[in-house]
Amino acid sequence: MAISSEQVPSTETEVTMGETADTPTGAAPPDPKRWLALLVLLVAAFMDMLDGTIANVAAPVIQHGLGGGYSVIQWVLVGYQLSFALMLILGGRLGDIYGRKRMFLVGVAGFTLASLGAGLAQEPWQLVACRMVQGAFAGVMVPQILAIIHVTFSAKERAGAFAMYGGVAGLAAAVGMGAGGPLAEWDLFGLDWRLIFLINIPVGVAGLIYAPRVIRESKAPHALKLDVRGVALATAGLLLLIFPLLQGRELGWPLWGFVSMAASVPVLAVFVLWQRRKTRLDGSPLIELALFRIRSFSSGLGVNLAFYIGIGMFNIGWTVYMQVGLGWSPMRAGLTSLPFCIGAFLTSSAAMVALVPKFGRKVLQVGAVVTVLGALSFLWAAGHYGSGIGSWQLVVPMLLVGLGFGLIAAPLPQIVISEVPLKDAGSASGVVHTNAQLGFAIGGALVSVVFFAGLAGNTGTAIDDQSAQLRKELVATAQLTPGEADATVAAYRECAVDRVREKDPGIVPQSCSAPALQNAQAAPVLAEYAKDATGTSFANSLKTTLWVFGGVVAVAFLLMLAIPRQMRLEAPEEETGEAGEADDSTGTAPQVA
C-alpha cells in the first residue's frame, strides 16, 4: 500500500520510546526511509571496520614509509584501539541524551577529518595523534549504529537488519585483509600507504550528505543528564585495565602494569556504587545497572567477552605465524585469510535471518563447535606441513573458523540488546562494543604469555633437532672443519633465540654478528636451516595458542547455556509496546526472568 506524503513523518522527528515501530496501534508508522538509513549506517560501519583491518595489514609499509621506531607503529595501532575503547560507553550514552542521529553525524565528521589528518601526516607523532582522534570519534559513531537499528526497526525486521550488519563485518574484514596489501604496496596515485586513510574521505562525505536525509532522530523519552563523574570513573577504570593489556608485551610486562590492572578493580567498583547512587538521585546513570538483570543482556555479555578473548588470540597468533614465522608478505597473509572472511560472510546472514529465530542459542553452540573444529584442523596442518605449509593447506581451517565466527559474532550484538529498553539502546550498544574490545585486549595479552613466552624455547628445540644434520652439511658443503662447524651451529642457535626474544622484529641482536656466522660459504646453508627452524618453532607456538583458543571457545560454549533457549528477536508488538510504556514511566529496565 502506498504511503502518502502526509503520512510520512519528517526525518527530523524525534523518536521516543512510544514512537517506534514496536509500539501498538496509535503510534507513528514505521519510518519509510529506514532501509535507506540502514544503508548509510552499514557504509559507516564498513568504513570503521575496514580502516582498522587495513591499518593492521599495512603496518610494516607505514613504518617503512613514514619512519620512526617500532614503538611508533605500535602506537599507530594501539592508540586507535585505546581511544576507541575508552569512548564507546560515553559515546553510546551521548546518543541517548543528545540524539543518536546527531552523535552519529558528529562521529562520522570527526572520523573523516581525522582520516584526512592521518593521510597527510608528515611526522610519526602526527599520525599517532590522528589515529587516536580517529579512534575517539569512532567510539562516538559506532554505538549509534546498533542503537539506531534497534530503535528504528520493528522487532520482526531487526533480524534482517542485524544480519546485514553482520554481513558487512565479514565483508569489511575480507576487503581489508585482501586489499590492505595491494593498497599499501602498489603505491596507487603515488600516495603509498596514505591511501588507506584517504579512502575514508569520500565515504565519510557521502555519509554526511545522506545521513541527515534518511536517518530519523531518536533519543531517550525523558531528559537525561550526562553523568560526568561516572564518565571520569569509567574512563579511569578502563584505562588502568586496558592500557597495560595492550602494551604489556612491548614494555616487558613491568610491575606497574600489574599494579595498574589491580587498581582498576576498586576504581570500577566505585563506578558501580556511583551508578547505583546516580540512579536514585536523578535516574541518569552512565550505565543503567538494571540492564544486567536482563538475562539475555548479562549472559550475552559473558559469551561476548569469552568469545572475543579467543578471537583476539587467534587473530594475532595466525598473523604473527604467517608474516613472521613463515615470512609471508602482508598481501599473501591477507589473501590466505579470505576463506575466513568468506565463511563469516556466508553464515552471518543465515544466522540472523533463518537460524537463530528457529533454533535459538543452539546456533551459537554449533558455531562454537565449528570454530573449535577449525582450530583443530589448523593445528594439524601447522604440525603436519611445518615450514613448508602453503596457503592452500589453510583453506579448510580458515573457512571453518570463519563459518563458526559468523554463527556467533553476527547474532551476539542483537541477542545482547534484544530486550534492552529503547531509551538505553545507545548506552547498551556502547557496553557491548567495550566488552568486545576488552576481550580483544585480554586475548592479545594472552598471546604474549602463550605464544611468545614459549617461542625462544621452541626455537632452541627446533635448532637442536637439526644440529647433527646441519654440522654434516657445513663440513661437506661449506668446507668447515668439525670444530668450526660446532662453533657455527652454537652461534647460529644463540642468534636465532636472541632474535625471537626481540620485541622489534627489525632489530638484529648483537649475537648475530658473531665471527662464526660471517663465513660466506656457510651463509646459504644457515639461511635454509634458519627458515625451517623458524617455521617449525612458530608452528609449535601457534599450536599451543590454538589449544588455548579452543579451550576459551569451549568456555564460551558453556556460557551459552545461560542464554535463553529462544531469543525474543521477534517479540509481539504489544509486548514491546507495553515494555516501552513501562520504561517511559519508571525510567528503569524491566527485569526479565
Query: What does the pLDDT read at residue 12?
Result: 41
Query: What does the pLDDT read at residue 581?
Result: 35
Tally of helices (H runs) and strands (E runs) in the chain: 22, 0
Single-letter amino acid, residue 61: V
* Residue carrying C-alpha cell 656457510: 522
Under the banding of pLDDT at 50, 70 and 90, the label for residue 182 is low
Same domain assignment for residues 60 and 39: yes
Question: For residue 233, is pLDDT > 90?
Answer: yes
Final residue of a structural domain among 178, 210, 225: 225
Domain count for the chain, please give it. 3
Please check whether residue 30 lies inside any domain of the structure.
yes
Same domain assignment for residues 57 and 81: yes
Residues across the chain: 593
- Give the structural domain span for 497: 455-539
Query: What does the pLDDT read at residue 22?
Result: 41
Same domain assignment for residues 114 and 208: yes
pLDDT tens, residue by residue, 431-466: 988 998 888 888 888 888 888 888 888 999 999 998
Query: What does the pLDDT read at residue 584?
Result: 36
Same domain assignment for residues 254 and 197: no
pLDDT tens, residue by residue, 302-335: 999 999 999 888 888 888 888 888 888 777 877 8
Same domain assignment for residues 218 and 259: no
Please check whether residue 197 lies inside any domain of the structure.
yes
pLDDT tens, residue by residue, 347-360: 877 777 777 778 87
Question: For residue 130, is pLDDT > 50?
Answer: yes
3-state secondary structure 535-593: HHHHHHHHHHHHHHHHHHHHHHHHHHHHCCCCCCCCCCHHHHHHHHHHHHHHCCCCCCC
| 3-state secondary structure (DSSP) of residue 229 | helix
Final residue of a structural domain among 522, 539, 556: 539
Least Cα distance to 517 among 574, 474, 551, 466 occurs for: 474
Same domain assignment for residues 278 and 143: no
Please check whether residue 38 lies inside any domain of the structure.
yes
Please check whether residue 417 lies inside any domain of the structure.
no
DSSP state letter for 28: P
pLDDT tens, residue by residue, 147-172: 898 888 887 787 778 778 877 776 77
Same domain assignment for residues 240 and 174: no
Please check whether residue 56 lies inside any domain of the structure.
yes
What CATH number has the domain bearing residue 62? 1.20.1250.20
Query: What does the pLDDT read at residue 40?
Result: 92
Residue 416 host element (H or E): helix 411-417
Q: In terms of pLDDT, which residue wins out, 174 or 522?
A: 522
| 3-state secondary structure (DSSP) of residue 15 | strand
Question: For residue 266, is pLDDT > 90?
Answer: yes
- The answer for residues whose C-beta is within 8 angstroms of residue 587's C-beta and 6 or more apart is 222, 283, 423
Under the banding of pLDDT at 50, 70 and 90, the label for residue 66 is confident
Final residue of a structural domain among 225, 246, 271: 225
| Dihedral, CA of residue 468, residue 473, residue 478 and residue 482, to nearest 10 | 40
Q: In terms of pLDDT, which residue wins out, 265 or 220?
A: 265
pLDDT tens, residue by residue, 496-536: 999 888 877 677 888 888 888 888 888 888 988 988 898 88
Same domain assignment for residues 209 and 238: no
Same domain assignment for residues 216 and 251: no
* Torsional class of 176: left (φ above 0), alpha (ψ -120 to 50), beta (otherwise): alpha
Please check whether residue 2 lies inside any domain of the structure.
no
Least Cα distance to 147 among 80, 200, 94 occurs for: 94
Mean pLDDT of 51-72: 70
Please check whether residue 492 lies inside any domain of the structure.
yes
Please check whether residue 98 lies inside any domain of the structure.
yes
Q: Distance between CA atoms of 499 and 142, rounded to whole angstroms?
A: 40
Same domain assignment for residues 188 and 151: yes
Same domain assignment for residues 220 and 242: no
Query: What does the pLDDT read at residue 500?
Result: 85
Question: For residue 369, is pLDDT > 50?
Answer: yes
Average pLDDT in the chain: 81
Same domain assignment for residues 175 and 195: yes
* Residue carrying C-alpha cell 579470505: 338
Q: Distance between CA atoms of 250 and 243, rounded to whole angstroms?
A: 11
Query: What does the pLDDT read at residue 129?
Result: 92
pLDDT > 90: what percent of the chain? 30
